[in-house]
Structure 1
C-alpha cells in the first residue's frame, strides 16, 4: 500500500511475513497465495506491500538459481504484491518450537551475518518494483549482550563497514539504493536510540541507519519525539505494540509466558530477560510492566492488560506529522499471532485489521492512500 505525504513523497506500508512459518521457497510461495493475496482481497486494494522474510537457505537458493528469482518476482506481480523492504533479523528457524536467544545468531561479529545481509540486498534490488529505486532491510542490533567482548565489537564494526561498501557497490551496479537499518531491542548491544547514536554514529549514512520498532521503544520508556531525533537516518519503522500490565495486575500476564519467543520484560526501575523471570519475582509488582510480546495493533487484550498502541500513535505522528516524512517505509510486524493465548481470530482477517488500523492512523497524520 502506498501513501502520499503532503510534501509529495511516497510512503510505503507493508506487513512482515515472518509471521508465517516457511523455511524454503515452496513454503514462501504458499504463504503468498494462502495469506498475503487474501489479505489484499480483504482490504480491497490493488496492490499490497509485504515485508518479506527470506531465511538463509531460501535466500541462497534464490541467488543460485536465477529462474527461481524470476519466478518469485512474477508471482508477486501476479498476486498484486510488492516488496520494498525485507526483514533480515532472523537468520533461520524463526518458528522452531523454541527460538528464544537463538534469534540473535549469527550476530554481527560473524561472517555469516555479512553474507546473509548482502545476499538479501542483492535479492531485494531485483525484487523492487520498476518504479521504486530504494529498498530497505532491517537487521539485529549487533548482538545479544551477554557474550559480547571488545574483540567482538571490533570485528562487528569492520563487518558493518564492509556491508556498507557492498551496498554502495550494489547501487553503482544496479541503480537501486538498498539501505540497512539496525533495530534497537531490549537486552541487545544496541538497546536504545541513544546507544544506537553512540555505537553507530560513524557509519555510512547513505546506506546505514536504524529501524525503529515501536514495541521496543515503548519498552524502554523512550519518548517518541526524542526517539525520532536520534541523529541517525531512520531506514524504516516497524509498527508494533508491547503488552502492558498495570501495577498489581501482573498475574494476568501468566498465559503470555510461552516457550517459543523471548519476552523481555521492563518496569521503570528494572529489567529481566524473559517474562518467566519477571513473574517469579524479578520485577516490582507495584510498578507497571511492559513485555516484549508483539500484540495486534487494533485490538486490546483482556483487562487489566493493555497495549502500547497510544505510544505507536505518538511515534507515527512524530515520524509523519512534520513537513517531510522521517522515513518512507512502515512495516507492521506482529509475528506472535501463532502463540497468542486465547485467540481464534483468522490470521488473514487479523493481519488485514492491523493494516487497516495503520492505514487510518497514517490518514490521520495527513497521508493520502494512492
Structure 2
C-alpha cells in the first residue's frame, strides 16, 4: 500500500514474504497467488506492497536470466502487488527445522555476503515499479557477536566500502538507487543503535544506513525517541522500518507467565531474551528463551522481553503482552512530524508457523496486521494513496 505524508512524500507499507516457506522461484510465485493476492483482496486495495525474501539459489537464477526477472515482475503486477524492498538477511534455509544462529551466515567477513547483497540490489532495481526511483535491501548487523576477531572486523569494514561502490555502479547502470540497511539485532556485533553508530558512522550516507526492527529495539530496552535521535545525530538514515512487536512478561516470576513463555520456546528460531529495570538501563541478556526459563535470567530486575515477532494486532496468551506501544512510538517518531524519516515500512511477522496455535487462515492474519499498521499511519495524518 502507498501513503502520502502531509509533506507530500510517498510512504510504502507491505509485508515480508519470509513468512512463506518458498526457496525457489516457482515457489515464490506460487506464494504470491496463495497468500499475497488474497491478503490484498482482504484489505480491499488495488495495490499491495510485498517485501520479498529470495533465497540464494533464487537470486542466482534471477541474476543469470533477465527473462526470469521479467516473469517475476509480471506476476507481481498481474496480482496487484509491488516490491520496493528485499529482505536479504536470511541467506537460505530460513524454514529448516532448526535455524537458530545459522541465520547469521554468511556474515559480512565472508565474500558471499557481499555478492548476495549486491545481487539482491540488482534484482530489486529491475523489480521496482516504473514510477519509483529508490529501493531498499535489509541485511544482518555484520555478524553474530562471537567469534569476531579484529581481522574479520576489518575485512567486513572493507566489504562495506565495496558495497557502497557496487550500489553506486548499479545506480549508474540502471538509474535506480538501492539503499542497504543494516538491522541491529540482539546478540549480534550491532545489537543497539549506539553500536550501529559506532560501526556504521562514516560510510556512504546516501546508500548505507539502518534497517530498524521495532521488536529488536524493544528487546534491547531502547527508548524509541532516544534511539531515533541517536541515529539522526550520527547522520544514519533509517532506510527501512520492520514493523514488529516483541513479547513481554511484565512479571517473569509469575507461574502463568512462565508457562505461557514455555509454550513459545520452540526449536526453529533464536529467541533472545532480555530484562532491564527501565528503558536505556543496563540490560541482562541470554541468547535464547529456554536459557532464560532455566535460570539464566533474573526475575527481579524488571520485565522480560523476548525476540519473538508477535502478530501486531493480537494479544498473546495472558498474562503476556506485546510491545505494540513501542512500535507505535517508533512510527510516530519516524512519520508523525513535519517530514518523513523513513519511507519503507515492512510488517515482518515470520513466526506464524511456530506459534503455539498456528492460524488456519494465514492470509487473514497478515491482512489484519497490515490493517493495524494502516490505522496507525492514517492516525498520524498520512493519506492512503489509491492507484
Shorter-chain TM band: over 0.9
Deviates more, 1:269-278 or 1:131-140: 269-278
Is 1:367 matched up with 2:356? no
Q: CA deviation at 1:342?
A: 2.3
Per-residue CA distance 1:32-54 (angstroms, 9 max, x = gap): 11000010010010000000000
User: Quick check: 2:359–2:365 contact (8 Å CA) kept in 1?
Assistant: no
> Take 2:384 and 2:70, find their aligned partners in 1: how far apart are those partners?
29
Structure 1 equivalent of residue 271 of structure 2: 263
Structure 2 equivalent of residue 301 of structure 1: 316
What RMSD in Å do the two structures reach over aligned CA positions?
Answer: 0.8
Structure 1 equivalent of residue 225 of structure 2: 225
Q: Displaced runs of 4+ in structure 1, greater than 2 A?
A: 342-345
> Take 1:234 and 1:66, find their aligned partners in 2: how far apart are those partners?
31
Is 1:45 matched up with 2:45? yes
> Take 2:137 and 2:228, find their aligned partners in 1: how far apart are those partners?
18
Secondary structure of 1:7 counterpart = coil
User: Quick check: 2:352–2:359 contact (8 Å CA) kept in 1?
Assistant: no
Secondary structure of 1:146 counterpart = coil
Return the TM-score normalized by structure 2.
Answer: 0.95
Structure 2 equivalent of residue 277 of structure 1: 291
Per-residue CA distance 1:179-237 (angstroms, 9 max, x = gap): 00000000000010010001100110110000000000001111111111212111010
Structure 2 equivalent of residue 14 of structure 1: 14
Secondary structure of 1:145 counterpart = coil
Deviates more, 1:169-178 or 1:348-357: 169-178
Deviates more, 1:220-229 or 1:76-85: 220-229
> Take 1:148 and 1:97, find their aligned partners in 2: how far apart are those partners?
27
Is 1:357 matched up with 2:372? yes
Secondary structure of 1:256 counterpart = coil
Q: CA deviation at 1:345?
A: 4.4
Deviates more, 1:46-55 or 1:249-258: 249-258
Per-residue CA distance 1:267-320 (angstroms, 9 max, x = gap): 014100000100000111223100000000000012110000010001100110
Secondary structure of 2:84 counterpart = strand
User: Quick check: 2:88–2:117 contact (8 Å CA) kept in 1?
Assistant: yes
Return the TM-score normalized by structure 1.
Answer: 0.99
> Take 2:299 and 2:224, find their aligned partners in 1: how far apart are those partners?
25
Secondary structure of 2:326 counterpart = helix
Secondary structure of 1:147 counterpart = coil
Task: Give ranges in structure 1 of 5+ residues lacking alignment.
Answer: none
Structure 2 equivalent of residue 135 of structure 1: 135
> Take 1:351 and 1:31, find their aligned partners in 2: how far apart are those partners?
13
Q: CA deviation at 1:343?
A: 3.8
Structure 1 equivalent of residue 247 of structure 2: 243
Structure 2 equivalent of residue 94 of structure 1: 94
User: Quick check: 2:21–2:95 contact (8 Å CA) kept in 1?
Assistant: yes
